[in-house]
Chains A and B, each alone.
Chain A
Amino acid sequence: MEIIQILITLGILMILVIPMGKYLFKVISGEKSFIDPCFDRVDGVIYKLTGIKKSEMSWKQYAVSFVATNLIMALLVYLLFRLQGVLVLNPDGNKSMNPLLAFNTAISFITNTNLQHYSGEWGMTYFTQMAAVTFLMFTSAASGFSVAAAFIRGITGKSETVGNFFVDMVRVITRVLLPLSIIVTLILVWQGVPQTLEGTKTITTLQGSYQDIPLGPVASMESIKHIGTNGGGFFGANSAHPFENPTPLSNLIEIISMMLIPASLVYAFGIMLKNKKQAWVLFAAMSILFLISLPICYLSEAGGNPILAGAGLSQSMGNMEGKEVRFGIAQSSLFTTVTTAFTTGSVNNMHDSLTPLGGLVPLFQMMLNVVFGGEGVGFMNIIMYAILAVFLSGLMVGRTPEFLGKKIEGREMKLIAIAILIHPFIILMPTAISLISHQGLSAITNPGFHGLSQVLYEFTSSAANNGSGFEGLVDNTPFWNILTAIVMFAGRYLSIIILLAVAGSLASKRLIPAGVGTFRTDKAIFAFILVAVVLIVGALTFFPALALGPIAEQLTLGK
C-alpha cells in the first residue's frame, strides 16, 4: 500500500499532463479554446477598465513591465502588512507587522517564495491573509507563468517580440489559476478546511479546560497556495495543520495541484515547438531526477531514527517525529519530495525533524532548482540547463552548438553562465556569513552538524524561491529578515531577467535547418546527458556544504 499510493498519485498526474498541457498551450498562444466565449468577455472588461492594449513587447519591454508591476504590488502589500492592525477583518486583534518583518514578508510573497518568519495565528489578519497573501499568490504565480510564456515564445518563435506581459497576466489568472482554485477550494472545504470570517473560537474541553480553535478564510488560500506553487501556510504548521490538510484525500489534491502546471507546461512547450518528442525528452530528464530523489527520502524516513530505536522506542513505523498519523511515511515523504522538486515550499511534516538523508533530498532538489521547478521559472531553468548541456556536448565534439534550430553563441553562454552561478553564490555566501556572525549562529536551535543544515536550508530555500524551512531556526530577527529578503529577491529577478535576455537574443536569430551533423536534442540520449550535466554542476558546487551538514549528521547518527 505504501508504494502503491505513491504510484497512483504519479499516475494521476501523468493522465492530467497532456490535456492540461494542451489547454495551457491555448492560453499562451491565444488559440481558440472551448471556453473563449465566456472568458473573452471577462478579459475584455478587465482590459477596458485597466487600459491594457494588446500590443507586442520586446523582451526588454516585457521585463520592465514585469518588474514594475511586481514592484507596485509589493509596495501595496507592504503597506497592508504595516497597517493590518487597524484595518478591517481582524477579529483576533492581531498587530501590524514591524518594518523589517513586513519587508521580508512582502518580498517573500511577491517572489513566489513564501518563506514565513511569522505564524498566521498571530502575524496576520484575515484581511491580509486574503487581500495581501492570497492576492500575491495569484499574481506571483501568474508573473512566473507569464515570463515563462514569453521565454517560450522567444526560443521557439520567429519574431523578435515575446508577447504582452499584462495580457498574459490577465489570461493566466482568469483562465487557469482562478477556475482551478475555485474547484480545489470547494474540494478542500468539503474535506474540512475552514472558510469563514469568524474569529478564533474558544471551547471548553471534556477535561474542563479551554481550547482555542483558530479559523479563517483558509481554503481559498490553500488552493492557490498549491496551484501557484506558492507554499505559504495560513497557520504556522502549514499543510501539516489539520485545518489546512485534514485528510489523505486533501493531501492528494494538494500534491497534484503543485505538480499540475509546472509538469504540463513542459508539454505545452512541445506543442508550441511542434516537436513533442523534445518536450518528452526534457520531461523524462526531470522525471529521472525526481525518481532518484523520492525513494531516498522514503526509505530513509521508513528506516526510522536509530537513536530512538536505541532508547527503546520501536521504529517499525518509521521516523514519526514531526509527522502526522493520517499521512504516515509514504504521504509525508512524497509531499516533501514534490514540494521541493516543484519548489512550492508547503510542508505536511516538519522538515527539521527529517532523518539526515531524508532532509538531504529536499535540500538537494532546491539546490538543483530544476526538477520541474516552480510556476514557469522551473521551466526556464530546465531550458537553461539544456542549453548548457548542448554547449558542453558541442565542446566535446568540436562543433558550434545549436538548440531548437538556433546557434548558441558567446552572448547566450555568458548570460547562462551568470544565471547558473548566481544560484550557488546567493546560497553559499550568506550561509558562510551567517556561520561566522553572532546573529547568524544564535538562530541555530539544533546542535552539531544539523545546525549547519538549518542555515544552509534557509538560504537554499530562499534562493530557490521555495519557502519551506528547517523551522527550528529562530529567523524573525533583523539579520535574517534582511539577508533572506535579499537572497529571495536576487533568486527571483536576476535569473528571470537574464533568461529573458537569452530568449530575446535567440528570438532575433535566424532559424537554421537541422543537418546531418546537428546534435539532436530530442533523442533519449540527450535526457541522460541533461541529467548528468545537472547532477555534475549541482553536485560539484554544493557537495562540500552537504558533506558538512546532512551527510556528516547521517554518518554520526547513533554512533
Chain B
Amino acid sequence: MKVLLRAVTITIALFIICGLIYPLAMTGISQLLFHHEANGSIMEETNGKQVGSELLGQSFTDSRFFHGRISAVNYNTYNSRDKTAYSGPGSGSANLAPSNPELEKRVKKDIDAFLKANPEVRKDDIPADLLTSSGSGLDPDISPEAAKIQIPAISKSTGISISDLEKIVEKYTTGRTLGVFGEPRFNVLKANIEISEKIK
C-alpha cells in the first residue's frame, strides 16, 4: 500500500514539473527570445500580408511560379473556405514502397506532365527530388538543379529574363550547413514571393 501511495505522489509531482511547468516555461522563454521562430516563422509580403511559413512548402500550380515537390497532403492547401473536400491539416507521405506499381505509375505520369510544361528539358535531366513525394508532404525545398530546369518555362510565362531568374535561384539557395551538413537546397516559397512582387 505504501508503495502505491508513493507511486501516486511521485506521479503528481512529476506531472506538474514535466507536464506543466516545463513546457509552459519553455513557451514563455521561447516567445521572449525567438518570437519569430516560436510562432512558425511566418513570412510577409512587403505590404505586410502573411503568405506562409518559410519552413513549409505550398502547393504551386501556376506556370509563373517555381513548383515544389509532390505532396501527399497537398501542403495543407485548399481552394475555398469550404472544408468538405479538405479534412484538416495533416502531414506525411503516401508511404509507397519502392516495389509498389502505383509509385511507378505516378512518376511516369508526372514525367510526361513536366516535359509538356517544360519542353526545353530533357527527360534525363529531371532531378529525382522534383517528382518524388517528400516525407513530410510539406518540404519547403527543392534541389538547386530542380529549380534551374524550371527557369526557361517560368521566364516564358512571366517575361522575367533568364538571367534575373538565375539570380533568384542563387539568392534563395542555401548551401550545406557549415559547409558539411545536409544538402544544398532552394526555398520555393521565398523565390515565388519575389517573382509575385515582380509581376504585380
In the complex, B6 has a CB within 8 A of chain A: yes
Cβ-defined contact, A241 with B88, below 8 A: no
Interface residues of B in 53-81 (CB under 8 A from A): 53-62, 65, 69, 75-81
- The size class of the interface chain B forms with chain A is 35 or more
Nearest first, the 8 closest Cβ-Cβ pairs linking A and B are: A248-B182, A135-B19, A472-B95, A240-B135, A328-B183, A237-B91, A195-B30, A450-B97
Q: How many cross-chain pairs have Cβ atoms below 8 Å apart between A and B?
A: 393
State how many angstroms separate the Cβ of B35 from the closest Cβ of chain A. 10
In the complex, the answer to whether B27 meets A119 with C-beta atoms within 8 Å is no
Q: A-contacting residues of B (Cβ < 8 Å)?
A: 3-15, 17-20, 22-24, 26-27, 29-31, 33-34, 37-42, 49-62, 65, 69, 75-81, 88-101, 103-104, 107-108, 111, 123-129, 131-143, 176-177, 180-183, 185, 189, 192-193, 196
B180 touches A52 (CB 8 A): no
What 0/1 readout, one digit per residue, does chain A (261-296) give for beta carbons within 8 Å of chain B?
000000000000000000000000000000000000
Would you give the shortest CB distance from A404 to chain B, in whole angstroms?
A: 30
A and B contact pairs by CB, cutoff 8 A, 30 listed? A5-B180, A72-B7, A121-B88, A135-B18, A138-B14, A189-B37, A191-B37, A192-B55, A207-B60, A207-B62, A207-B65, A209-B78, A213-B52, A235-B91, A241-B138, A242-B53, A247-B182, A249-B177, A308-B103, A308-B104, A308-B128, A314-B126, A318-B128, A320-B132, A324-B141, A326-B185, A327-B182, A331-B181, A331-B182, A449-B99
Choose, from A149-157, A178-186, A501-509, the stretch at the interface. A178-186
Interface of B (DSSP majority class): mixed
Shortest CB distance A198–B (Å): 7
Given A72-B7, A205-B77, A325-B69, also A314-B98 (CB < 8 A): no
- Please tell me if the beta carbons of B181 and A320 are within 8 angstroms of each other in the complex: no
Q: Evaluate whether A352 and B97 lie within 8 angstroms (CB atoms) in the complex, with A220-B23, A313-B111, A317-B143 already known.
A: yes
Instruction: For A189, give its contact among B14, B38, B180 (CB under 8 Å).
Output: B38
Instruction: Identify which of A62-70, A426-434, A517-525 touches chain B.
Output: A62-70
Closest CB-CB distance, B122 to chain A, in whole Å? 10
Instruction: Give the CA-CA distance A6 to B149 in the complex, in Å.
Output: 30
Min CB distance A132 to B, Å, is: 7
Task: Verify A305–B30 contact, CB threshold 8 A.
Answer: no
Nearest CB to that of B178 among chain A residues?
A: A249
Q: Are A248 and B176 in contact (CB under 8 A)?
A: yes
A326: which of B75, B89, B141 is its contact (CB, 8 Å)?
B141
CB-defined contacts of B54 to chain A, threshold 8 Å? 192
Neighbour of B58 across the interface among A173, A211, A326, A470, CB < 8 A: A211
Question: A58 contacts which chain B residues (CB < 8 A)?
Answer: none
Contact partner of B10 (CB less than 8 A), chosen from A169, A200, A207, A214, is A169
Find chain B residues with CB under 8 A from A132 CB: 19
In the bound assembly, the distance between CA atoms of A182 and B24 in angstroms comes to 12
